[in-house]
Amino acid sequence: MHLFPAHPGRPLDIVLGIQWGDEGKGRVVDLLARDYDIVARFGGGDNAGHSIEVGDTKIALRIVPSGALVPHTRLFIGGGTVVSLEALAAEFDRVASAGVDLDRIAISDRAQIVFPYHVTLDRLGEKQRGSGAIGTTGRGIGPAYVDRVARMGVTFGDLARPEAVAQKIRAALLARAPVLAAADEVPREEEIIARTLELAGRIRPHVVDGVAYLHDAMRAGKRILAEGAQGTMLDVTYGSYPYVTSSATIAGGACTGLGVGPRAVGNVIGIAKAYCTRVGAGPFPSELHDEIGARIQELGHEFGVNTGRARRCGWFDAVATRYAAELNGLSHLILTKLDILTGFERVGVVTAYRRPDGSLAGMEAFGEAGITPEVTWYPGWSESIREVREISELPGNARHYIEEISRLVGVPLGLLSVGPERSAFATPFPAIYVP
């Protein structure tokens, strides 16, 4: 039985994070992937860090889709991504040593290459922003997207023409020279070209016509799972701008990032943690600056897979999540890490923002200076829930908490994660809430 049954004629399902990233997408995609033929990344690059644990094997993926440990799936890196050749080659080595057959991996000819000078530009940009720094992952993601929009990027398709690659790198470096001159180490053009062409030999066999690849598969009746990176609140347009990443992380980004029209989309599944975290700077109304926040951080191991940075922690923000549900047109909600909240006397959900004048507001006040969260409290539970496999078996208070979240967000709950193991998911039978 499929966890999320296919809609006839709609081969593409989307699964994405609806907070600030790190919602546990890797584990969820690993679980869902068994029902699909292709798992496809549609945006971002190695700023993402998706970790999967299967028995003793633990892998951290940055670019390769999180279906890696489900052997029958093909893994596709879509045209909307920006990918460092160096990082991709290193990830190929890591996943191959975990037993992944690299022949399963394909990358779209439309995807953009992240070069070392993008990393330099990312760091220089952050330095220049000073106290207004975004807290980027420092992987060159923003500058690589800038180059695409500025029409001076290099695509994976270009790797077939070494002369064109060299010429485009030279042009990009020339255009950026005034800024790059401020770097401690100015990028060496010929070195970058030589290394790019060297890595190209290894990557090129995986480069495909990304549009034909997916559309041929859909015509052949294959099911595709589009895997989001980062989260809705980091979307370049609709997130907490300018404290965002540089790509479209919402469901619409799956269509543009894969070259697939919206009529192909069936389920749109949003993943949220049972509380909230954020890495990097920017507004976070439900943030806890007290010992409760510190406790969630410790119990939830809230430290970045990618950069090792401590994540800011707070209560579940039902205002921002309801906004995310609208932006994505969610059909289902998946809640993760509910087990981390076990043992708290009471758990909070932010249901409104209070302005300095005392009035209550919704999403329109998000990011305004001086707002404070309006917290609705729910009684906690002390029983371990890690062995729960059906939501009906949850302690009453835990069940009430997730029912309230589903109601407040306005999306039915499709699945609940109650622990770190591959099997630690509870299914919602009977269905607990249908808006």
Point out the residues that are catalytic: 22, 50
Residue 280 binds to ligand IMP (criterion: CB under 6 A): yes
Which residue, judged by CB position, is nearest to ligand IMP in the bound state? 280
Site for ligand IMP in 130-159 (CB under 6 A): 134-137, 139, 141-142
Nearer residue to ligand IMP within complex by CB, 243 or 381: 243
Find the shortest distance in angstroms from Cβ 231 to ligand IMP. 7
Which residue, judged by CB position, is nearest to Mg ion in the bound state? 49
Find the shortest distance in angstroms from Cβ 230 to Mg ion. 8
Point out which span in 177-185, 210-218, 297-305, 356-364 binds Mg ion (CB under 5 A). 297-305
Radius of gyration of the chain from its Cα atoms, rounded to whole angstroms? 22
| Separation of alpha carbons 187 and 254, rounded Å | 33
Point out which span in 97-105, 229-237, 283-291, 404-412 binds ligand IMP (CB under 6 A). 229-237
Among 66, 84, 230, 232, binds ligand IMP (CB under 6 A): 230
Residue 46 binds to Mg ion (criterion: CB under 5 A): no
Point out which span in 150-158, 240-248, 350-358, 410-418 binds ligand IMP (CB under 6 A). 240-248
Residue 258 binds to ligand IMP (criterion: CB under 6 A): no
Point out which span in 14-22, 90-98, 314-322, 376-384 binds ligand IMP (CB under 6 A). 14-22
Residue 47 binds to ligand IMP (criterion: CB under 6 A): yes
Find the shortest distance in angstroms from Cβ 60 to ligand IMP. 11
Residue 65 binds to ligand IMP (criterion: CB under 6 A): no
Q: Which residues bind Mg ion (CB under 5 A)?
A: 22, 49, 305
Q: Which residues bind ligand IMP (CB under 6 A)?
A: 20-22, 47-49, 134-137, 139, 141-142, 229-230, 234, 243, 245-246, 279-280
